[in-house]
Amino acid sequence: EAGVAQSPRYKIIEKRQSVAFWCNPISGHATLYWYQQILGQGPKLLIQFQNNGVVDDSQLPKDRFSAERLKGVDSTLKIQPAKLEDSAVYLCASSLQAGGLTVGTDTQYFGPGTRLTVL
Amino acid sequence: DQQVKQNSPSLSVQEGRISILNCDYTNSMFDYFLWYKKYPAEGPTFLISISSIKDKNEDGRFTVFLNKSAKHLSLHIVPSQPGDSAVYFCAASARKAGSYQLTFGKGTKLSVIP
């Protein structure tokens, strides 16, 4: 079974530029998550989709970050304009379903991440 | 406010010995606890979990213990192997917005010395 795919793997941009990340979840997974992992920290949830609807985006800095999940499959995360503090690894994860009765159905599978460096 | 804390940034253990990784939490609403393992340049991989109604869960060389009254959990790896060298994240799950969401600790880097 193919895992969560992300691209690009690495990106270097200047501050105030824009950047977009792409994620393809595991086939059949209804829920998709975007996390930000700053160096030395654990992953922090930015936004959660169930199918193509947003479940929670309370920690997404909406003045510069946006995300969409068209047709309930692939997702893109965009930053515009980027700041120095956005330098981090952006992780995408997916799970079979949300709100399941057992954590097994909600086990999150992570992609390899995109390492963003803002200069 | 850090709700999930891993106070040891790193841990070195001899091959064949026990590795013990610790995690503390503050939010009583957490109902599942998970450990993820992360190798460099890869995403975190689910390792083992425990429900808040249990105090122990075992899977091969990996055992997680939960002390709910102390809001503390630990991951034991016995025996430790060089391939276990990775960063281990403790995560706690709580229902929010109708689904489970994870809160991660900062991670502990485990080095198993051959």
Q: Which letter, b or e, does each residue of A25-62 get, where b requires 16 or more Cβ atoms within 10 Å of its Cβ?
A: bbeebbbbbbbbbeeeebbbbbbbbbeeeebbbeebee
Residue with tokens 């991440």: A113
Q: Which of A50, A55, A112 has the CB atom closest to B41's CB atom? A: A112
Contact A49, A31 (CB under 8 A): yes
Query: DSSP letter string over A48-75?
Result: EEETTEEEE-TTS-TTTEEEE-GGGS-E
B99 with A44: Cβ contact below 8 A: no
B100 with A99: Cβ contact below 8 A: yes
| DSSP annotation of B2 | -
Distance (Å) from the C-alpha of residue B13 to the closest C-alpha of chain A?
21
For B101, name the nearest residue in chain A, comparing CA atoms only. Answer: A45
Residues of A within 8 A of B96 (CB-CB) are 56
For B52, name the nearest residue in chain A, comparing CA atoms only. Answer: A103
Q: What is the pLDDT of residue A101?
A: 47
The residue-averaged pLDDT of B2-26 equals 96
Convert the pLDDT of each residue in A11-31 to its tens digit: 999 999 999 999 999 998 888
The residues, ordered by sequence, that sit 6+ positions from B37 with a Cβ below 8 Å of its Cβ are: B44, B45, B47, B86, B87, B88, B89
Cα A11 to Cα A24: distance, rounded to the nearest angstrom = 18
The residue-averaged pLDDT of B25-40 equals 93
Q: What is the pLDDT of residue A98?
A: 57
A56 with B96: Cβ contact below 8 A: yes
Q: Which of B41, B46, B105 has the CB atom closest to A107's CB atom? A: B46
The residue-averaged pLDDT of B53-74 equals 96
Residues of A within 8 A of B87 (CB-CB) are none
Residue with tokens 């994620």: A23
A103 with B107: Cβ contact below 8 A: no
- Residues of chain A short of pLDDT 50, as ranges, are 100-101
B46 with A108: Cβ contact below 8 A: yes
